[in-house]
């Protein structure tokens, strides 16, 4: 979490850290895994069904095997990139603001001061309630006005931490960390 630490002002403390639910990650990498398994099936079928052309020739079987390997490598790289994107997108409540940080090399950071937050809306579907994820909309007085935290893990805990930090800030209380989601 070193990048978040560089964004903090003097005296500002991290109160809660969350990320998107793990089902978001699974939904992103599942198509790649399924396609890789299909390509393994194609490679196995090609290995048994297509004739071996011998040591000196480069036959159809080898082309199919190399093609399956190349496409599988690209899909694997995409899956790793999906994981890295999921892992580097953080939703943070500090003692002064809510921060949304995303990006691997190039970073995008959006923050809303706790004192400018007017309303917080939490939406959870039945599936979201079963697996403990939901969407949180932070409504501020700014023109942009809305910060959406989609499919966040443990949204009720996040909302409570944000409201408690806002209340503590209004009362002049400097609270320490409330919680952290891995």
Among candidate residues 38, 69, 85, the one where a domain is terminated: 85
- Structural domain of 35: 26-85
pTM given for the model: 0.77
> Cβ neighbours of residue 151 under 8 Å, at least 6 residues apart?
20, 21, 23, 24, 128, 133, 134, 135
pLDDT for the residue numbered 30: 94
pLDDT for the residue numbered 65: 85
SS3 91: strand
pLDDT tens track, the chain, 182 positions: 578 888 888 888 999 999 999 999 999 999 999 999 999 998 888 877 776 666 556 677 778 888 889 999 999 999 999 999 999 999 999 988 899 998 888 889 888 888 888 888 999 999 999 999 999 998 887 666 568 899 999 999 999 999 999 888 888 766 555 555 44
Regarding whether 32 and 9 lie in a shared domain, the answer is no
Regarding whether 176 and 105 lie in a shared domain, the answer is yes
Closest CA to 112 of 67, 83, 146, 153: 146
Radius of gyration (Cα) for the chain, nearest Å?
23
Among candidate residues 85, 100, 134, the one where a domain is terminated: 85
Regarding whether 10 and 98 lie in a shared domain, the answer is yes
The CATH number of the domain holding residue 150 is 2.30.29.30
Number of domains composing the chain: 2
Regarding whether 167 and 106 lie in a shared domain, the answer is yes
């Amino acid at each position: 979490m070193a990048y978040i630490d560089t964004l903090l002002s003097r005296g500002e403390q991290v109160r809660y850290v969350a990320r998107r639910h793990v089902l978001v990650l699974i939904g992103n990498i599942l198509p790649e895994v399924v396609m890789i398994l299909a390509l393994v099936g194609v490679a196995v079928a090609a290995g048994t069904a297509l004739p071996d052309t011998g040591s000196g020739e480069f036959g159809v079987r080898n082309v199919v095997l190399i093609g399956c390997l190349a496409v599988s490598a690209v899909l694997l790289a995409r899956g790793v990139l999906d994981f890295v994107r999921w892992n580097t997108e953080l939703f943070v409540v500090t003692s002064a603001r809510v921060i949304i940080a995303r990006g691997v090399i190039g970073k995008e950071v959006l923050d809303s001061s706790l004192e400018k937050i007017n309303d917080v809306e939490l939406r959870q579907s039945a599936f979201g309630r079963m697996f403990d994820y939901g969407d949180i909309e932070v409504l501020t007085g700014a023109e942009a006005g809305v910060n959406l935290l989609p499919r966040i893990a443990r949204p009720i805990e996040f909302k409570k931490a944000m409201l408690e930090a806002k209340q503590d800030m209004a009362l002049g209380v400097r609270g320490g960390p409330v919680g952290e989601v891995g």
